[in-house]
Amino acid sequence: LLINASMLGIVFAGDLISFYVFWEIMSWGTFLLISYNRGPALAAGLKYIIMSIAGSAAYLLGMFSLYASYSTFNIADIAARISTASSGYLLSILILFSITFGIKNALVPLHIWLPDAHSEAPSPFSAVLSGILIKMGTYGFVLSMYVLVGLKTLSHLGHGILSFHFILAILSAITILIPTFIALMQDDAKRVLAWSSIAQVGYIILGIAIGTSLGFAGGMFHFLNHASFKALLFMAVGAVEYRTGTRDLNSLGGIIKRMPLTFAVALIGALGLIGFPLTNGFVSKWLIYKTLVLGKDPFLAFVALFGTWGTILYAYKILHNIFMGQLPEDYKDVREAPFSMQLPMVILSIIVILFGILPGIPLKIINSIGVSFGFKSLAVNIWGIASDTGALNTINIFSAVLVSWVIVWLIFKAAPSSLRVEQDNNYAAGSYIPKERYQYTANFYAPIYRIIKPCLVDVVEIFYMVAARAIRELCDWTRRIYTGELGSYVMYIMFFLVVLITIKLGFNIW
């Protein structure tokens, strides 16, 4: 409740001080929930709060810099006068705020806290963490870029590859690409989804960073969509863990036989994640792709598409390793998730499909927000968006998909019946293996592991480890000045008094 209240406070804050207070309440409340289970969870929580404190320090620097320039903390008052500031000053403010919000958004290279936080936090909170809480960073980006600085002023901050828009877009592309393929190498279902959350945030910020009406609509719609399908997937994985006691993808399998409803909602969530037609993820990704194509950004467009291909691979891995294949003997008595878990998953599934078929419902609101920021209005209708370069009409997509399914079903029914083979014989190729060893999903994508693992050296993690070691050595060195002797402290005081007097005299002479 405290975290939810603080997030509402952030959204309704009209000044930088209130924003900061609610931001800190949210951060410390999140730390307590991540650390709830102690042990490794406490280490994950400490990593999160250290990064959050660093982000808060950057925010305070930006906030007091703005106050020193405009003598007010009111966001509207600052926004009305900030357009006269120099480009260098505006860029420094945006960089400071980008550090703050990039940490909360888990934007690469500020992402290191998120995988551990997701894997160690309680499953219900993981859904909130991915679906809502990290989105506050996106809200911060929108607030600082399009409310505080403004679209017109922002467009003049640099040109070409040196513009703020392009630099943020490149960071977003990196955030899409690297975490996507790290997700493929995970065997913990929640860690797969954690790395996936980082990658999907890349799509959101990419759309927002481009600075066009279509890009803003795509980014903000994906902001909303990710909250639905990723929360749904975390809930589904949490339900499986609740019934089986594990989320290890190498030991699960065949759970569809015992938890069919959980499989159905997880399938819908996965389809939304990859952007399958008739899901909300398809519409938002289509808008982002179209923005990049129209903007003639082939590199960014390729990265976005390549990231989606990787998303298909790890989404299939989760569905396949948890629900398909043989049901291990240890889980033959597993039951469906309780109704209290089923209800929110079903509601989120409906949202994923509803906004995929009727995207105009949220897009009309997003379009009005974009217009208030100075973006050109889009021709939005209940079925999608019309434009000179091609329209998105989900009723046509729905009809095409429905006809395709009917044709495939008719072909399947018309084909001669195939010989039924027992599942054990099918997957074991007729060889005798004890049933407890029937799990062919173990080490899924092992050939891909061997190819990409040598290339995925965690340079960011190494950098943070080196920095932490350097800070620790610096602290150990400075600790030596605290001798506990009164004479030493008197000497320090006298020394700094001399320094201050010298500086004062120097300024007076100047």
Same domain, 134 and 183: no
DSSP 484: S
Among residues 136, 134, 65, 133, the alpha carbon closest in space to that of 94 is found at 65
The set of residues, in sequence order, having a beta carbon less than 8 Å from that of 302 and lying 6+ positions away, is: none
| Predicted local distance difference test score (pLDDT) of residue 510 | 46
Same domain, 174 and 64: no
| Predicted local distance difference test score (pLDDT) of residue 272 | 92
Same domain, 339 and 375: yes
Q: Are strands 384-386 and 379-381 parallel, antiparallel or unpaired?
A: antiparallel
Same domain, 226 and 94: no
Q: Please tell me the total number of residues recorded for the chain in this structure.
A: 510
Domain coverage including residue 72 = 1-157
The set of residues, in sequence order, having a beta carbon less than 8 Å from that of 201 and lying 6+ positions away, is: 105, 106, 107, 134, 137, 138, 175, 226
The set of residues, in sequence order, having a beta carbon less than 8 Å from that of 114 and lying 6+ positions away, is: 106, 134, 194, 197, 198
Same domain, 286 and 399: yes
Round to whole Å and give the CA distance between 119 and 114: 9
Residue ending a domain, choose from 418, 437, 456: 456
Same domain, 334 and 428: yes
Q: In what order do the strands lie in the sheet with 384-386?
A: 379-381, 384-386, 392-393
Same domain, 451 and 470: no
Question: Dihedrals φ, ψ of 248, to 5°?
Answer: -75, 115
How many distinct structural domains can be found in the chain? Answer: 3
Round to whole Å and give the CA distance between 171 and 178: 11
Question: Dihedrals φ, ψ of 483, to 5°?
Answer: -85, -20
Same domain, 58 and 148: yes
Each residue of 23-54: b (16+ CB within 10 Å) or e? bebbbebbbebbbeeeeebeebbebbbebbee
Same domain, 277 and 389: yes
Residue ending a domain, choose from 133, 157, 181: 157
Same domain, 103 and 166: no
| Predicted local distance difference test score (pLDDT) of residue 273 | 92
Residue ending a domain, choose from 157, 178, 205: 157
| Predicted local distance difference test score (pLDDT) of residue 247 | 86
Same domain, 120 and 229: no
Same domain, 381 and 475: no
- Give the tokens for residue 324: 């398909």
| Predicted local distance difference test score (pLDDT) of residue 222 | 92
pLDDT along the chain (510 residues), means of 10: 84 88 89 81 85 90 88 87 83 89 85 81 75 83 86 73 81 89 85 89 90 88 90 90 86 86 93 90 90 82 89 90 82 86 92 90 90 85 72 77 85 72 56 58 67 63 75 78 74 84 65
The set of residues, in sequence order, having a beta carbon less than 8 Å from that of 158 and lying 6+ positions away, is: 87, 91, 164, 166, 167
